[in-house]
Amino acid sequence: MPKKSGLTLERHETLGLELQTMRDKLVNIVVELSRAYPAKVSGIASKACDTIDSLRSALDDKVCAENKDFTDATKVYYRANRSDYPSSEEN
C-alpha cells in the first residue's frame, strides 16, 4: 500500500482555523444548553466538543512531525492565544 502524502502546512493552517472556530462555537452552545436543559442534552454537545479536541490533538501531532523546522507548528491547531485569532466574543 503506498504511503499517503499528508497535508501541506497551508492546509493544516486552514483546517486549524476551521476547527478552532467550530470548537469555540460548540463551547458557546454547550453553555447555552447547560443553562436551558438537563445535563444529558448539554453532555451530547460537550461530547462533540471533545471529539473536535481529539481531532485537533491528532492533527497537531501530524503537523509537528511533518514540519520539524517550523517553530510555531504547535500553534496551528491551538490558535486561541495567537494574536491573529479573533477572540470568542468576535465569533
Query: pLDDT 10s per residue in the chain (91 long)?
Result: 778 889 999 999 999 999 999 999 999 999 999 999 989 999 999 999 999 999 999 999 999 899 888 888 778 998 877 777 776 455 4
Q: How many domains does the chain have?
A: 1
Tell me, yes or no, whether 88 lies in a domain: no
Tell me, yes or no, whether 29 lies in a domain: yes
CA distance 36 to 81: 30
Domain span holding position 21: 9-78
Tell me, yes or no, whether 83 lies in a domain: no
Name, in order, each residue with C-beta under 8 angstroms of 78's C-beta and a sequence gap of 6 or more: 16, 20, 56, 60
* pTM (2 d.p.): 0.82
Tell me, yes or no, whether 69 lies in a domain: yes
